[in-house]
Amino acid sequence: MCLCGSTRFKDAFDDANYRETMAGRIVLSVGFFMHATGNRHGEGVGATPEQKIALDALHLRKIELADEVLVLNVGDYIGDSTGREIAYAHSLGKPVRYLEPVEAERGAPPPDTA
């Protein structure tokens, strides 16, 4: 399983990694929390544009390896990068779960992830 979501939600990644691991699942996650605050590698460190492109490609490869994707949509937030990852997972036929119910599950039309 691959965790996807905004890197500002490091605590949610840590919690989900623990829960999914304890449930017996192999967890693939991000290794650099670019938008996290109070973190030894986060907003204060940053990444070059080239590194950001490489990190995004690396995460897509993790999605390819995973059996499913868990989207950490804290507070209903799904940013552009996560939206692209969801669309990519769907294009590969990967099941996608969400930490919190999404609009589509509450009866509203799904967000545009194109």
- Annotated domain spans of the chain: 62-100
89-105 per-position pLDDT tens digit: 999 999 999 999 987 65
Q: pLDDT tens digits, residue range 9-66? A: 999 999 999 999 999 999 999 988 876 665 555 455 677 889 889 999 999 999 999 9
Write down the pLDDT at residue 114: 46
Residue-level pLDDT at 95: 98
Start-to-end C-alpha separation, the chain: 23
Nearest Cα to Cα of residue 2 among 33, 27, 23: 27
